[in-house]
Amino acid sequence: MTLVFQRDPLEGPRVPAGPRTHAFVLGCGRFPTLGAAAERASTVAGARAIIRYLIEQRDSLVAPLGSIECLLSDPSVAPGQDVLGLGAFDRDPRVNDHVAAVVTPNVQSAGEAWLSRCEAGDHMFFYMSSHGIADQNVSAAGLFEDVLANRYKKWSASLNVNVLCTNLPVTQAAACWVFLDACQELIPALLGNNSGLAGVTLVDASPTELANVQVRSVGIAGSRYGEKAWAPNGPNPPYFTQALLRSFNSCVNFRADGQWVVTGDRLLFNIEKVADAAYGYAALKVDSLSPFATPPELVTVQTPLLPVVVRTKDLAHMAFLQKVTITNGQGPGIEGTPQLTDCFFEVPPSGQQYVATGVFTQQFNYQPAQFYAAPCAQIVQLCP
């Protein structure tokens, strides 16, 4: 079973009527042909976290959630024993918690099912976390569990995410979201390959078809071309996925109707800053997988919170920083305790001016620092 959430019947009218978001989520961490060292529990954790978010925010999405196709290859279980592992939730069409694995036939069939549900005006959402590669054509691909199984097409068990990103708008979707949490490592064997990256292509499109669509996908990868993505050890989502989920609450614009809404341009240009301000992941680098024209809206946020990090200009002095207080002049302020080289806060996107003040265990002449509570995140430096 690959369909784990289904709002509407496959046949018949939508109730209520209107656009839907259809998601396709893949988390691959089991790679028998690559060896035990290649196994990654974090990739499956990332996919589960994305699915949990989509289900929890099903009605806050600009186009309410209509369906989720899911494939998982969990290294903690044997092939054929993969489960979603999120507990019970409504609109789950499965008879048990089993999900199919991230292998080539399943990706093709689940991808076709995902695409078949799209009606004009719907939103299409794609997320994949796995190992990843890139070729000389600047094409990024996420690897499947059965990669290298075909000795004559070793890398064909992969999904060309750049092609998906480019071609997805021909579905007549009103918005296309593509997120890849994987490396974009250059494989020497591919650089001179006449066939290029011969991975699975879910959507074909001609130049004429692409010229006639107004939508361009928002596509973001959690690594730069030729570089690696990173994840913590153990069953926690990769760093990019953590930052992406946090950005779904802070990368907001204020609409004329009084709603805060996450937009594509805010995500693309601010995920790195959110990663630093929320978690201290200053090394995270993201990449755009496709240019896009009109920034679409993803989800409305009732109570957005902006991550704020306060640091001393000389990071060695953080060891002597006892506490930091931030205040907007209304009330006593918020106190924070430094953690190594960071002191973290969250504030609403009020636009108000805040002042951050540090208290040191030794005599340092650091001055208070000002910042504004403006989306999407704030990195504040205390200076002498």
CA 122 – CA 258 distance, rounded (Å): 23
Rg (CA), the chain: 22
CA 265 – CA 358 distance, rounded (Å): 34
Per-residue DSSP letters for 136-174?
TT--EEEEPTTTT-STTSTT-SEEEHHHHHHHGGGG--S
Domain final position from 255, 279, 301: 301
Rounded to the nearest 5 percent, the helix, strand and coil shares of the chain are 20, 30, 50
Q: Based on the domain organization, do 266 and 311 belong to the same domain?
A: no
Q: Based on the domain organization, do 109 and 230 belong to the same domain?
A: yes
Q: Based on the domain organization, do 200 and 345 belong to the same domain?
A: no
Q: Based on the domain organization, do 233 and 208 belong to the same domain?
A: yes
Summarize pLDDT for 327-376 with one digit per residue, the tens. 998 888 999 999 999 999 999 999 999 999 999 988 888 999 999 999 99
Nearest to 2 by CA among 78, 115, 133, 163: 115
Average the pLDDT over 80-97 and give the result: 96
pTM, rounded to two decimals? 0.96
Q: Based on the domain organization, do 241 and 119 belong to the same domain?
A: yes
Q: Based on the domain organization, do 375 and 247 belong to the same domain?
A: no
93 contact partners, CB below 8 Å, separation of at least 6: 1, 3, 4, 5, 6
Give the Å distances, CA to CA, from 100 to 9, 20, 26, 116, 189.
Answer: 21, 24, 10, 19, 30
Domain CATH for 75: 3.40.50.1460
Do 149 and 33 form a contact (C-beta atoms < 8 A)?
Answer: yes
Strand pairing of 343-347 and 306-312? antiparallel
Q: Based on the domain organization, do 118 and 256 belong to the same domain?
A: yes
Give the Å distances, CA to CA, from 197 to 137, 155, 242, 269.
Answer: 8, 7, 29, 28
Statement: residue 58 has pLDDT above 70:
yes
Statement: residue 267 has pLDDT above 70:
yes
Give the Å distances, CA to CA, from 199 to 141, 161, 188.
Answer: 7, 9, 16
Do 225 and 274 form a contact (C-beta atoms < 8 A)?
Answer: no
CA 27 – CA 25 distance, rounded (Å): 7
Q: Based on the domain organization, do 272 and 362 belong to the same domain?
A: no
Planar angle of CA 271, 275, 276, nearest 5 degrees: 120
The neighbour count for residue 34, using CB atoms within 10 Å, is: 14
Range with lowest mean pLDDT among 35-49, 52-66, 122-136, 138-152 = 138-152
382 contact partners, CB below 8 Å, separation of at least 6: 310, 311, 312, 313, 324, 356, 358, 366, 367, 368, 369
The reported pLDDT for the residue numbered 188 is 76
Edge-to-edge strand list for the sheet holding 343-347: 343-347, 306-312, 378-382
CA 116 – CA 260 distance, rounded (Å): 31
The reported pLDDT for the residue numbered 15 is 84
The reported pLDDT for the residue numbered 107 is 98
Coil/strand/helix, residue 301? strand
Domain final position from 273, 301, 329: 301
Strand pairing of 218-221 and 287-290? antiparallel
Summarize pLDDT for 159-173 with one digit per residue, the tens. 999 999 999 999 999
Do 299 and 248 form a contact (C-beta atoms < 8 A)?
Answer: yes
- The number of domains in the chain is 2
Summarize pLDDT for 227-257 with one digit per residue, the tens. 999 999 888 999 999 999 999 999 999 999 9
Q: Based on the domain organization, do 359 and 247 belong to the same domain?
A: no
The reported pLDDT for the residue numbered 280 is 96
The whole-chain average pLDDT of the chain stands at 93
12 compared with 138, residue with greater pLDDT: 12
Domain final position from 301, 316, 342: 301
Q: Based on the domain organization, do 294 and 367 belong to the same domain?
A: no
- Binned at pLDDT 50, 70 and 90, residue 77 comes out as very high
Do 146 and 154 form a contact (C-beta atoms < 8 A)?
Answer: no
- Binned at pLDDT 50, 70 and 90, residue 135 comes out as confident
- Binned at pLDDT 50, 70 and 90, residue 13 comes out as confident
Give the Å distances, CA to CA, from 327 to 217, 260, 320.
Answer: 40, 23, 21
Average the pLDDT over 280-306 and give the result: 91
Domain CATH for 312: 2.60.40.10
Q: What percent of the chain has pLDDT over 90?
A: 82
Q: Which two tokens stand for residue 103?
A: 């292998």
Q: Based on the domain organization, do 190 and 275 belong to the same domain?
A: yes
Residue-range definition of the domain harbouring residue 91? 3-301
Q: Based on the domain organization, do 333 and 282 belong to the same domain?
A: no
Average the pLDDT over 116-137 and give the result: 93
